[in-house]
Amino acid sequence: MKLLILAALFRFSFAQFDPNTKRTAIVHLFEWRWADLAAECERYLGPNGFGGVQISPPSESIIVTDRWHPWWQRYQPIGYNLCSSSGNENELRDMITRCNNVGVNIYADAVINHMCGAGTHSSCGSYFDANNKDFPIVPYFYLDFNDGKCSIGSGQNWDEDWGFMPSDKALVFADNHENQRGRGVGGASIVTSQALQNGCSLYVGPPIWISQSNVQQQDQNDWQGPPSNSDGSTKPVPINPDSTCGDGWVCEHRWCQIKNMVAFRNVVNGQAFSNWWDNGSNQISFSHGSKGFIVFNNDDWELNETLSTGLPAGTYCDVISGQKESGRCTGKQVVVGGDGRASIRISNQEEDPFIAIHADSKF
């Protein structure tokens, strides 16, 4: 059943909102410094077909030290200056420009109308007094908050939106929609609104994300932030000779399987879903027109079937176990006959018990 749900989500992902790019895979690179993100767009994301990056909130927020700069401090804004642990406004602009220049859109995780409930220090050094609900850099003060509906003093709920009129919400989402179509300043999808008074919180995210990257250290605590130096500053992201990341960073988007499935998505983009097969349990396969074919084995026994791939006859490289390099496959090969069928065998003991082939993996 869980595999069937996965397949349904995979199908659904092709029907999401069009982010104005033929390359539609979006990766989370939360907590990355803007300088590192700009470099990653140029050296890896752009060349490997990623369409966008979702970034952490870029606005001024509190600095938390009792839990050593947890991830959620970025979600406790004290104003809307664009300076954070990722960098300043100029570095943000430079990153957006450089990423856009190589075909990668930027989607900002925006926190609006949701001020911090405690703290004494901010990422930009601006004055604020959370206890008295005084945020002069915005400016907000105590009359701008709805104490009858949420209490800043006792904490906030991220999903509350009390205080916004329906028309105000429409404005927020309309602005976000326009920016996602490339009409935002510098190509960024930063959510903006002029109707921000008298409310608690509203979270607005990007339209889709297909490949998620855990760019923080392995989760030892539910609050853990990015790899940082002794002064609390975020560490740069070093790239090892084998293309992995070092110094505490985990870059799942650089894993071969994920990179290759981004390419798969781009190749099959716009193709009709077809050739569904399943064994009534957790073995399934399907194709996208004549461009791509994928098969999963999530059962506790081997898959050994001859399946319709929808692809032209030829030999294809499986992009999960390897890829096509210099006219050969570094992993498994799949031979498709003249009738579009192929013999597929996947052990349930394999680390990645699925196979994916596409038009560009043929040799």
3-state SS track over 140-185: ECHHHCCCCCCCCCCCCCCCCCCCCCHHHHHHHHHHHHHHHHHHCH
- Please check whether residue 103 lies inside any domain of the structure: yes
- Please check whether residue 36 lies inside any domain of the structure: yes
Of 227, 254, 281, the domain-final residue = 254
218, 295: one domain = no
66, 183: one domain = yes
d(CA 119, CA 129): 8
48, 177: one domain = yes
- Please check whether residue 244 lies inside any domain of the structure: yes
Q: Give the distance from CA 16 to its chain's centroid.
A: 14
126, 232: one domain = yes
134, 283: one domain = no
Q: Residue 161's closest CA among 146, 139, 143? A: 146
70 contact partners, CB below 8 Å, separation of at least 6: 64, 223, 224, 225
Q: Residue 70's closest CA among 202, 217, 203, 213? A: 217
Structural domain harbouring 85:
22-145+170-254
Pairing of strands 105-108, 26-28: unpaired
184, 316: one domain = no
Structure tokens that stand for 321 in this block? 């176990």
d(CA 323, CA 333): 9
309 contact partners, CB below 8 Å, separation of at least 6: 275, 287, 293, 334, 336, 340, 341, 342, 357
**What's the one-letter identity of residue 137?**
I
235 contact partners, CB below 8 Å, separation of at least 6: 226, 227, 228, 229, 247, 248, 249
Domain harbouring 201, CATH code: 3.20.20.80
- Please check whether residue 265 lies inside any domain of the structure: no
235, 276: one domain = no
246, 294: one domain = no
- Look at the chain and report how many structural domains it folds into: 2
- Please check whether residue 218 lies inside any domain of the structure: yes
Domain harbouring 278, CATH code: 2.60.40.1180
Q: Which residue has the tokens 């959620």?
A: 72
Q: Are 207 and 191 in contact (CB under 8 A)?
A: no
229, 292: one domain = no
If one counts every other C-beta atom within 10 angstroms of the C-beta of residue 161, the result is 18
208 contact partners, CB below 8 Å, separation of at least 6: 13, 16, 17, 19, 24, 26
- Please check whether residue 99 lies inside any domain of the structure: yes
Q: Residue 139's closest CA among 131, 148, 124, 128? A: 128
**Tens digit of each residue's pLDDT, the chain (363 residues):** 434 333 433 443 343 444 445 788 999 999 999 999 999 999 999 999 999 999 999 999 888 877 777 887 888 898 989 999 999 999 999 999 999 999 999 999 888 767 877 778 888 888 988 888 888 888 888 888 776 665 544 444 545 544 644 444 444 444 333 333 332 223 333 332 222 222 222 223 333 333 333 333 444 566 778 888 888 889 999 999 999 999 999 899 999 999 999 999 999 999 999 999 999 999 999 999 999 999 999 999 999 999 999 999 999 999 999 999 988 999 999 999 999 999 999 999 999 999 999 999 998
Of 220, 254, 288, the domain-final residue = 254
Of 221, 254, 287, the domain-final residue = 254
